[in-house]
Structure 1
Amino acid sequence: MTAQASTHAMRILKVNHAGEHGAIHIYTGQILVARFTAPAMLSELREFKAHEEKHRALFAAELQRRACPPCRSAFLCAAGGFVLGFITGLFGRHAIAATTVAVERVVLRHLQAQLATLATIDEVASKVIASIVAEEQLHHDQSATHMGTKSFCTKPLQALVSGATEAVIWTGMRV
């Protein structure tokens, strides 16, 4: 593996670690508020958060194995994730579900692109990423079932969340 390929693989792992950190905080904010606005979703949100904690640990272990520090955007992912989770949690089940669907749609697209990129340059990083895809897809698919009849604000919310997620990933790959 070339130095440039190794650097790119580490950048991907760092950004994915920061993204999982952000996802944990999205669910933390949603869980805090969903006790009042969507109590029937609490079990699922806690399960999703546990998955994200496991994913973050996988990326952290791989970063540690490579003696690579975490991404500098991890704090922004956590703070932004909590705010996003808290605010969307205030709007209840449909907003919580729409947020998860939007985030996971972007994440899954990036994970598939990462797998294609890393397949020939970093087998270990590729395996770590491949190990989380099924659970991320589960989050997307299960959340889509809660969206029900889409309210007038679902599309704008998803566009906003998707755009913010893309911006965070783009920024993370460059800082």
Structure 2
Amino acid sequence: MTLDELITEFDRGLRSIVGVSRMNRPIPTPEPLDTAAPAAAELTLPERAHSAALMRVNHVGEICAQALYQAQKLATRSPALKEAFEHAASEEEDHLAWTAARLRELDSRPSLLNPLWYTGALAIGFAAGCLGDKASLGFMAETERQVERHLEGHLTTLPDADLQSRAIVAQMRDDERSHGQSATEAGGAELPAPVKALMRAASKVMTQTAYYV
């Protein structure tokens, strides 16, 4: 990787941590049919707090995604894989900006532990990348499958009236599904069951912590 590329990746990582993210796509909005439903301002205080906590969890997930893809780009020598990781990272950066904007709308904040989440994910992503391209793609595919299931769970627990958060999460879920399928089709290896279980356990610790902190 060239010096210019390293500087670009450092800039992206710094922006991810401090919350200055760019978006290439506009923030998803509810379908026109739903415009008569209660807006976020009409949510009860407990509903607003719950929505904000879930969006904080999702924001942390997107910070981790930036770190994972950056590390995997650093580890691979394949130009095609670098391009694939860059494409996924670009869409994940949209997610990062969307969730940050939604947190502001809900008068809430990102996780206070974002530097820790980013650093840990960077190390994990680089370790996966050093195992080879098939393992790296397999890790990507499994990560996206687990994130997709996680977002499906959020769609079942977000307040019905919070149409804006639901629209964001639904688009994120669709993007994660696409990323996972692309990684599998590109030759990602199936990860051993213990590794998948460890990933789920680590994700549970992260999500439960970020919900509050």
* Band of TM-score, shorter chain: 0.7 to 0.9
Residues of 2 paired with 1:149 and 1:109: CA distance?
A: 20
Residues of 2 paired with 1:93 and 1:17: CA distance?
A: 27
Q: Are the aligned partners of 1:31 and 1:45 in contact in 2 as well (CA < 8 Å)? A: yes
Q: For residue 203 of structure 2, what is the aligned residue in structure 1?
A: 165
TM-score, normalised on structure 2? 0.73
Larger proportion of helix: 1
CA RMSD of aligned residues (A): 1.9
TM-score, normalised on structure 1? 0.88
Q: Are the aligned partners of 2:55 and 2:99 in contact in 1 as well (CA < 8 Å)? A: yes
Q: Does 1:29 align with 2:29?
A: no
Q: Are the aligned partners of 1:25 and 1:82 in contact in 2 as well (CA < 8 Å)? A: yes
Unaligned runs of 5+ residues in structure 2 are: 1-42
Q: For residue 133 of structure 2, what is the aligned residue in structure 1?
A: 93
Q: Residues 78-110 of structure 1, C-alpha deviation per residue, up to 9 Å, x if partnerless?
A: 111101111111111122112112211221111
Residues of 2 paired with 1:88 and 1:113: CA distance?
A: 27
Q: Residues 26-81 of structure 1, C-alpha deviation per residue, up to 9 Å, x if partnerless?
A: 0011111113xx44311100101101111101111111223322112322221111
Q: Are the aligned partners of 2:98 and 2:168 in contact in 1 as well (CA < 8 Å)? A: yes
Q: Are the aligned partners of 1:19 and 1:74 in contact in 2 as well (CA < 8 Å)? A: no
Q: Does 1:104 align with 2:149?
A: no
The aligned amino acid for 1:165 is S
Q: For residue 46 of structure 2, what is the aligned residue in structure 1?
A: 4
Q: Residues 141-170 of structure 1, C-alpha deviation per residue, up to 9 Å, x if partnerless?
A: 1112234564xx644433332332232112
Residues of 1 paired with 2:80 and 2:203: CA distance?
A: 26
Residues of 1 paired with 2:188 and 2:60: CA distance?
A: 31
Unaligned runs of 5+ residues in structure 1 are: none
1:1-175 residue pairs with structure 2 within 5 A? 1-35=43-77, 38-118=78-158, 120-147=160-187, 150=190, 154-175=192-213
Q: Are the aligned partners of 1:99 and 1:157 in contact in 2 as well (CA < 8 Å)? A: no
Q: Are the aligned partners of 2:135 and 2:189 in contact in 1 as well (CA < 8 Å)? A: no
What count of residue pairs does the alignment treat as equivalent? Answer: 171
Q: Are the aligned partners of 1:21 and 1:56 in contact in 2 as well (CA < 8 Å)? A: yes
Q: Are the aligned partners of 1:102 and 1:159 in contact in 2 as well (CA < 8 Å)? A: no
Q: For residue 19 of structure 2, what is the aligned residue in structure 1?
A: none
Percent identity (aligned): 29
Larger radius of gyration: 2
Change in Cα spacing, 1:132 to 1:149, as seen in structure 2 (3 Å) is closer
Q: Structure 1 residues 47-56 or 156-165, which shifts more?
A: 156-165
